[in-house]
Amino acid sequence: MLDRNLHFKDYIERVTKIAIFYRGRLGVMFDRKSKLSLRYKRTIYKMYIRSVITNASLLFAYAAPKALDRLQVIQNKFCIDATKAHCLVLNLWWIISLVTLVLADDYELDKVLVFSRHNVRAPLGNAYPRYSSRPWPSWSDEVGTLTHRGHLLEKNIAKYFSLWLQEEKLSIDCPKDVTIYTNNYERTISSGFAFAEGAFPKCALNIRYKNRTTIDPIFSLDSRNLTRKFEEEVQEYMKNKLLSIDFKNSLELVQNIIDLKNSPKCKEEGVCDLVSGEHMINIKPNIEPVLSGPIAIANKLVDTFLMQYYNGFDTKNVAWGLIKNETEWKTLLDINKYYHDIIFNETNIARDISLPLVKFLKESLLNDTTKFNYLVGHDGNIFTMFRIMNFKPYELPDNYEITPIGGKVVFQKWYDRESDRFLLKIEYVYASFNQMRDMQELSLENPPKRVTLEMEGCPVDRNGFCLWTDFLKKMEEF
């Protein structure tokens, strides 16, 4: 039962899955429409859920409180439905601190807005094979389009969202209460359709997007109102940022994997070393900021390796089988973080690019009556949005991307019945590296990863909630 840290983590997870199983099978019997008497409901609760908890109570008494959070919420919800009273998993640390999780059942989910990065696609370009003499695996999909596997992965996580919304009892009248709005790229549009298919299969939803011949300002990553002075200041920031980052190890790993010294690019054009190569920055009105040179080249190459991995290529065809371990994956994907940090992380350029998006989010969260808004864009949208809204640094366990493909930033408005007030919770919901690779079915029993996010000016409590009034004050600047 004990793990290497002498904790009961695996055992707690096993008991939690049993409790979820019983709740899933018996939950309908406790629905408001159920005709069962309260006495009969209590009997079922005592026979199934309470026995599961009681049999393990001696172990739980000494477990770390955080390890019991999810199990506590599951038991308490079942207990409320069955007995109209709160129940606690007995734990000495809770007793000492007088802290419980009963608050979770005093909260009611009011509305949700999700900003999602599109799901798994084909690589964005095909000019990079010249950087290696090794044979590149072929793709059946067009450049930059959502792959079949990407469609399935998006549909998979959408099914989880449907289960989560049901668990939180957010009553949705589809299509009236649902809006899905995507950028007008094929990969974002197709991701929107895949999510609708998975989350709302019986609902005829209209996926919104602008004509594909136009640029949608909500999702555009183009610079907008640049003066010469502003352009020079941003370029200076980017140059200094380049000088401050040590990406030698990452670039060396890339050029060793591709065998750059034996590539056509080296033999015919003399490009034989990424580490010592020069970078160029181009920032002009009405185009996306451009960083060219070693980092940009390496970013495209690593992106190709990652798409091979996520799309289920045989391991010998993922970077020719030359990525040996998770540490090397992390080293490679640091390049993606560096690239976006350089071109999008300056506050003024981030605001210039993403202000229309943040204003749209503000209007949707504060004034729109739609209960479930779902937007599909790009990693650059998330980078710039996080920058101007002052999100604090975060880590995403079991995934090495800072903005995982298919990952979703979930804004949740909750009502605290006991205190008669609204609260905000923001989470990054994403499939882990292995869940993506193995196409694992996501469910309440095997959920995607969820990480609570926090913004400056909107401090969160131990349950990840910040005051809605603090959020309103914060959004006044937009």
Strand-pair partners of 324: none
Q: Give me the residues paired with residue 432 across strands.
A: none
Q: Can you tell me the distance from the alpha carbon of 381 to that of 378, in angstroms, rounded to the nearest whole number?
A: 5
What is the rounded distance in angstroms from the CA atom of residue 186 to the CA atom of residue 174?
A: 24
Specify whether the backbone of 262 is left (phi greater than 0), alpha (psi in -120 to 50) or beta: alpha
List residues bridging with 466 in a β-sheet: 424
Q: Which of 69, 105, 379, 470 is catalytic?
A: 379
- The type of residue at 126 is N
SS3 state of residue 246: coil
Could you say which of 81, 118, 151, 303 is catalytic?
118
Dihedral angle of Cα 321, 324, 329, 335, to the nearest 10 degrees: -80
Note whether 236 and 363 are within 8 A (CB).
Answer: no
Spatial separation of the C-alpha atoms in residues 139 and 122, rounded to whole Å: 7
Tokens of 469: 């009034």
Q: Is 379 a catalytic residue?
A: yes
Instruction: Give the C-alpha separation, 77 to 168, whole Å.
Output: 10
The candidate with the shortest Cα–Cα distance to 453, out of 392, 376, 403, is 392
Residue 111 neighbours by CB under 8 Å, 6+ apart: 170, 365, 370, 371, 372, 373, 412, 413
416 is annotated as an active-site residue = no
Q: Is 398 left (phi over 0), alpha (psi -120 to 50) or beta?
A: left
The residues annotated with a catalytic role in the active site are: 118, 379
